[in-house]
Each structure stands twice: as C-alpha cells, then as structure tokens.
Amino acid sequence: MVQYHGRSNTKRSGSGGVKKTFRDKRKSAVGGFFSETKLDKEKELRKVLRVRGGGVKVKAKKIAFASVSDGKGKTRKVKIINVVSTPSNALYARENVIVKGSVLEVEGGKIKVSSRPGQDGVVNGVWLEQSKAESKPK
C-alpha cells in the first residue's frame, strides 16, 4: 500500500461545505513509507529503487558500519555498537532505528549521524566524543 500526499476527494471547507473534486489522483502525489534503517551487527542490506525522473535511490534496510569524519579531512569506517538516542523520536533508539541526527555508540566513542540512511544508503557521522586511545595520532 502507498501513501497519497494529495488532497482527498472527501474534504470539507472551513464552513462545512463539500469541496469540489477538480481532478483525479495523480502518480506525482503518491509517496512511499519511511525506510526503517535498523542496526544489524552481522550483515548489511540495501534496496535499490528507481525513482521519479529515472534516478536511483538506495535505501539502507540494515546497517553495521558507519563512516566517521574527524572534521579535518580524515574519514574511517567503524563498527556500530548501539543507538544511544534519537532526538526526532525516542522510540527509535529502543528499536535501534538509525535516522539523521541519531547518536550512535561506535568503536572508539560516540558519533552523530549527518546523512539520511533511508535516502542515501550509508551512515555518515561526526565525532561527538572520542576515546583517548582512538584520538592519538599514529
């Protein structure tokens, strides 16, 4: 089942009068459901979709790793341990759902997700706190 983001044909105006239908439902007003990106410790799963206009969207369904930037041009791949908090919805943290803005516990500290895993297919983040052993230059 899909979500329809256009105006319903059964709406009423503020005064209670029935609004007249001026066109049928359009394909452009049909949307999809939220891609619930879950934390999975063993494997990763992505779904590739063709979207309106012929483009491609990669939806991450299960994620195990994140790319973390230190802000100075260095990026590395780290394993995700746990979802600590999610400002947009407190239930997402309990269910290990990863969205933009989520705070994740990873190997070496905590990160904040700066990408949209359900839209991009990857988890990118920046360090919030980094363990002392991990932050020393080699």
Q: What is the CATH number of the domain that holds 98?
A: 3.10.290.70
pLDDT of amino acid 107:
94
Task: Tell me the residue range of the domain where 110 lies.
Answer: 36-131
15-52 exposure pattern, b = at least 16 Cβ within 10 A, e = fewer = eeeeeeeeeeeeeeeeeeeebbbbbeeeeeeeeeeeee
- Number of folded domains in the chain? 1
Residue 137 pLDDT class (50, 70, 90 cuts)? low
Residue 125 pLDDT class (50, 70, 90 cuts)? very high
Residue 26 pLDDT class (50, 70, 90 cuts)? confident
Q: Does the residue 86 lie in any domain?
A: yes
Structure confidence by residue, pLDDT tens digits, 51-102: 888 999 999 999 999 999 887 888 999 999 999 999 999 999 999 999 999 9
Q: Does the residue 29 lie in any domain?
A: no
pLDDT at 138 over 60: no
Structure confidence by residue, pLDDT tens digits, 88-115: 999 999 999 999 999 999 999 999 999 9
Q: Does the residue 10 lie in any domain?
A: no
Q: Does the residue 91 lie in any domain?
A: yes
